[in-house]
């Protein structure tokens, strides 16, 4: 194995120290292959080059290594943290990767000024700043306000907000709405808000409700119940029967909520339940959350490169059924530990984990050092914890089965399309389709879209939009000519250079296997002209022509190379895939066109050009008023209410937009 590697690399391996550290392998294109940690760098790295791995995945990876980087650290714990930070940021090909760009949502409760400040600020009308607001929030957590969560989904946060309205009647309206109300809104009428905006509740009474809500969210439901009952009895003794009746209703509502939430367990306040399932070369980690003693739901995670990472396990020789079962368990443990190491780098971690597989003590020690408190993992729980884990395992199995079914269906569609169009491919995984569509409103704000289908799924990161200019408004053919020319002119140049150099086309010089055009004979003819001018293969172009009555399932495929157009059939898997890609291109073009149209009509581009309006202030304006149109329709007073916008700047913004 070592004979195929550069001498410089082997000398570097031989000179490694016997210290803990992290190693990184690179291929000939300088792409990162693998990141690993070791207690003894010399022993661990040498094992890759001394053993004969044969045709295994490990052997395939080792055969690609031409360069190596190492970092020596003080302990195995530091090596583990560095390894997973590098994995999460660099996305190596042969490591298990958990990629989730969505941050967790929180329930946000705005902070209120101190009692002294509230008393000192005498005002004839209630101010929003003195009455805490509950709202949905996603982003960085600061110290100014109170945040509860994280929650596994937006739905869970909205359920919690609804609970705050039903039981504690806290306000959810934004500050400008609060400060400008002259009478209660509908939420007061349906008993979901106590109407502090018009003085229907005293500031101190409202503060008591806020304090009770915070206690409830932290898991002290029984304490809140006792406090409400005590307040109710105190009002009754003072013959304040209306206030007592309000508190009685709150007690009844809270009691009803606690009765409905059968998953409550006052002993476990903050717990994460993690169940892993591996099957068919894929894996699912189901994460369920308990916060404040309440089960908030779950979220599935699907790591990539599971097959490659599983092949890098030390024990890859499975000769018996027991060996296979042991390897399966080892893979599940590896997936779970990879999730724990990567997920909690930037996500708050609870002190207790309930896990479907045993977790190493060393990893728990490292996580404890990272979080600043002791983290424990329960592998074989009992009673309520057992019920939670069983539910998480069931959901992991269901989510993985759904993923495998979807991927199987998508692969079948890819195969059907390749067969229907006689595409010669060594690997269906490599089939790349680019689809184009044009969208405008009566010629206004014309935009073209290019969406990409690759590896059996849509590749959102590779989508592109093109602003079409210099054409007669409404001329779809000219728009298609422009977008195809802009997209493939550089590709044609790179192909010619590769041809003259006698090299295999790669990177930008690689054409897609199929170019779909949303349109019939006219659009295909325009695409053919562009490809002829650029010297590209006409057989790549296929038009998707609407059927009779523009009904879905009756589309016909039109070819640019002279072949007769074909109808695949309404139940054809190939046509389903073509329709899926075409519809995605249409959606992407329409959303871009609408955004461009709004910008053209309202001068949205002026917002960034206004002195003093940077990215943060612009984001606040758009969030407050729902977009550029809302900002343009707002008054100077409304704009000045936005955090960080002075009266002078509000006037400047108003003048610029009008």
Beta bridge partners of 171: 133
Same domain, 483 and 580: yes
What average pLDDT does the segment 127-145 reach? 84
The Cα 410–Cα 422 span in angstroms is 18
Mean pLDDT, the chain, integer: 81
Same domain, 73 and 113: no
Same domain, 506 and 577: yes
Same domain, 387 and 450: no
How many domains does the chain divide into?
A: 5
Same domain, 371 and 444: no
What average pLDDT does the segment 189-202 reach? 89
Last residue of a domain, one of 599, 632, 649: 599
Q: Does residue 92 lie within any of the structural domains?
A: no
- Is residue 265 pLDDT above 60, yes or no? no
- Is residue 634 pLDDT above 70, yes or no? yes
Same domain, 112 and 193: yes
- Is residue 274 pLDDT above 90, yes or no? yes
Same domain, 281 and 332: yes
The Cα 589–Cα 594 span in angstroms is 9
The CATH number of the domain where 609 resides is what?
1.10.150.20
Q: Does residue 253 lie within any of the structural domains?
A: yes
pLDDT tens-digit map of 79-129: 887 888 888 788 888 888 876 656 788 889 887 655 444 444 444 556 778
Last residue of a domain, one of 581, 599, 617: 599
- Is residue 314 pLDDT above 60, yes or no? no
Sign of CA dihedral 577, 402, 285, 297: positive
Q: Does residue 408 lie within any of the structural domains?
A: no
What was the pLDDT predicted at 602? 47
- Is residue 134 pLDDT above 70, yes or no? yes
The CATH number of the domain where 62 resides is what?
3.40.1440.10
The CATH number of the domain where 310 resides is what?
3.30.420
What was the pLDDT predicted at 120? 42
Same domain, 436 and 585: yes
pLDDT tens-digit map of 431-470: 899 999 998 876 777 889 999 999 888 998 899 999 888 8
Q: Does residue 418 lie within any of the structural domains?
A: no
Tokens of 376: 């424990």
What was the pLDDT predicted at 434? 94
What was the pLDDT predicted at 482? 93
Last residue of a domain, one of 385, 402, 419: 402
Beta bridge partners of 352: 271, 376
Q: Does residue 85 lie within any of the structural domains?
A: no
Same domain, 576 and 633: no
- Is residue 617 pLDDT above 50, yes or no? yes
What was the pLDDT predicted at 415? 87
pLDDT tens-digit map of 16-74: 999 999 999 998 888 888 998 888 999 999 988 887 766 666 777 888 888 899 999 88
What was the pLDDT predicted at 393? 92
Which residue matches tokens 């609060």? 178
Its pTM surpasses 0.75: no
State percent of the chain over pLDDT 70. Answer: 84
Same domain, 203 and 290: no
Is the model more confident about 272 or about 139? 272
Same domain, 313 and 360: yes
What was the pLDDT predicted at 267? 65
Which residue matches tokens 């309520």? 384
Same domain, 361 and 395: yes
User: At a CB cut-off of 8 Å and minimum separation 6, what does 643 contact?
Assistant: 620
Which residue matches tokens 């930037």? 346
The CATH number of the domain where 580 resides is what?
3.30.420.340
Lowest mean pLDDT among 49-53, 316-320, 322-326, 561-565: 316-320
Beta bridge partners of 353: 272, 377
Cβ neighbours, 10 Å, residue 251:
18
| Parallel/antiparallel/unpaired status of strands 294-301 and 352-355 | unpaired
Q: Judge whether 83 and 97 are in contact, CB under 8 Å.
A: no
Going by pLDDT thresholds of 50, 70 and 90, the confidence category of residue 262 is very low
Which of the residue ranges 121-130, 239-248, 322-331, 528-537 has the most confident prediction, judged by mean pLDDT? 528-537
Q: Does residue 410 lie within any of the structural domains?
A: no
Q: Does residue 127 lie within any of the structural domains?
A: yes
Residue 308 phi, psi dihedral angles, 5° rounding:
-65, -45
What residue numbers bound the domain in which 349 lies?
271-402
List alpha helices for 261-382, DSSP H: 306-310, 321-343, 361-371
Lowest mean pLDDT among 49-63, 128-142, 270-284, 633-647: 49-63
- Is residue 230 pLDDT above 50, yes or no? yes
- Is residue 541 pLDDT above 60, yes or no? yes
State percent of the chain over pLDDT 90. Answer: 16
Omega prior to 524 cis, within 30 of 0 = no
DSSP secondary structure of 205-246: HHHHHHHHHHHHHTT-HHHHHHHHHHHHHHHHHTT-HHHHHH
The residue among 648, 657, 658 whose CA lies nearest residue 612 is 648
What average pLDDT does the segment 333-342 reach? 87
What was the pLDDT predicted at 615? 77
The Cα 31–Cα 410 span in angstroms is 29
The residue among 524, 514, 511, 555 whose CA lies nearest residue 422 is 514
Q: Does residue 42 lie within any of the structural domains?
A: yes
What was the pLDDT predicted at 377? 92
Residues recorded for the chain? 658
pLDDT tens-digit map of 578-606: 989 999 999 998 887 776 655 544 444 56
pLDDT tens-digit map of 383-409: 888 988 999 999 899 888 888 887 778
The Cα 488–Cα 508 span in angstroms is 10
């Amino acid at each position: 194995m070592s004979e195929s590697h550069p001498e410089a690399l082997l000398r570097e391996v031989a000179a490694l120290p016997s210290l803990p550290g992290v190693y990184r392998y690179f291929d000939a294109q300088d792409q990162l292959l693998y990141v690993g940690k070791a207690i003894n760098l010399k022993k661990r790295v040498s094992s890759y080059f001394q053993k004969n791995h044969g045709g295994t995945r490990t052997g395939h990876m080792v055969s690609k290594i031409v360069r190596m980087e190492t970092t020596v650290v003080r302990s195995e714990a530091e090596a583990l943290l560095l390894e997973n930070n590098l994995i999460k940021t660099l996305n190596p090909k042969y490591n298990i990767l958990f990629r989730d760009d969505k941050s967790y949502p929180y329930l946000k409760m705005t902070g209120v000024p101190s009692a002294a400040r509230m008393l000192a600020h005498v005002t004839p009308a209630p101010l929003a700043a003195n009455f805490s607001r509950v709202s949905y929030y996603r982003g960085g957590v600061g110290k100014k306000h109170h945040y509860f969560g994280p929650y596994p989904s937006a739905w869970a946060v909205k359920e919690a907000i609804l609970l705050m309205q039903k039981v504690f009647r806290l306000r959810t309206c934004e500050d400008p709405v609060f400060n400008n109300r002259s009478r209660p809104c509908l939420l007061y009428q349906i008993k979901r808000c106590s109407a502090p905006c018009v003085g229907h509740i005293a500031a101190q009474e409202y503060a008591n409700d806020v304090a009770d809500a915070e206690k409830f969210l932290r898991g002290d439901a029984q304490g809140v119940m006792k406090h409400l009952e005590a307040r109710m009895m105190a009002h009754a003794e003072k013959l304040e029967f209306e206030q007592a009746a309000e508190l009685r209703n709150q007690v009844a509502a809270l009691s009803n909520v606690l009765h409905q939430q059968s998953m409550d367990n006052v002993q476990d306040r903050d717990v994460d339940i993690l169940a892993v399932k591996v099957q068919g070369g894929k894996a699912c980690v189901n994460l369920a959350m308990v916060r404040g003693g309440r089960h908030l739901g779950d979220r599935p995670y699907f790591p990539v490169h599971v097959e490659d990472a599983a092949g890098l396990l030390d024990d890859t020789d499975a000769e018996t059924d027991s060996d296979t079962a042991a390897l399966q368990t080892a893979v599940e443990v590896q997936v779970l530990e990879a999730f724990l190491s990567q997920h909690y780098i930037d996500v708050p971690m609870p002190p207790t984990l309930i896990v479907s597989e045993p977790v190493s003590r060393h990893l728990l020690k490292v996580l404890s050092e990272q979080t600043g408190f002791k983290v424990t993992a329960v592998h074989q729980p009992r009673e309520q914890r057992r019920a939670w884990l069983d539910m998480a395992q069931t959901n992991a199995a269901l989510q993985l089965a759904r993923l495998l079914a979807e991927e199987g269906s998508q692969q079948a569609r890819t195969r059907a399309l390749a067969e229907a169009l006689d595409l010669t491919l060594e690997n269906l995984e490599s089939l790349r389709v680019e689809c184009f569509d044009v969208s405008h409103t009566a010629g206004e704000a014309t935009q073209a879209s290019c969406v990409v289908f690759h590896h059996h799924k849509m590749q959102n990161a590779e989508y592109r939009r093109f602003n079409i200019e210099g054409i007669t408004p409404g001329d779809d053919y000219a728009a298609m000519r422009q977008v195809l020319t802009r997209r493939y002119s550089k590709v044609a140049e790179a192909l010619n250079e590769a041809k003259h150099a006698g090299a295999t086309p790669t990177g930008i010089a690689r054409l897609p296997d199929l170019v779909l055009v949303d349109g019939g004979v006219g659009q295909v003819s325009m695409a053919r002209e562009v490809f002829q001018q650029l010297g590209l293969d006409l057989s790549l172009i296929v038009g998707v022509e609407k059927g009779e009555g523009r009904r879905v399932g009756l589309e016909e495929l039109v070819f640019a190379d002279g072949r007769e157009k074909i109808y695949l059939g309404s139940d054809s898997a190939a046509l389903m895939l073509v329709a899926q890609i075409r519809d995605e291109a249409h959606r992407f073009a329409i959303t871009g066109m609408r955004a461009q149209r709004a910008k053209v009509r309202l001068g949205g581009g002026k917002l960034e050009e206004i002195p003093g309006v940077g990215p943060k202030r612009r984001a606040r304006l758009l969030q407050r008023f729902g977009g550029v149109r809302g900002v343009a329709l707002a008054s100077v007073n409304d704009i000045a209410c936005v955090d960080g916008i002075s009266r002078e700047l509000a006037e400047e913004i108003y003048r610029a937009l009008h």
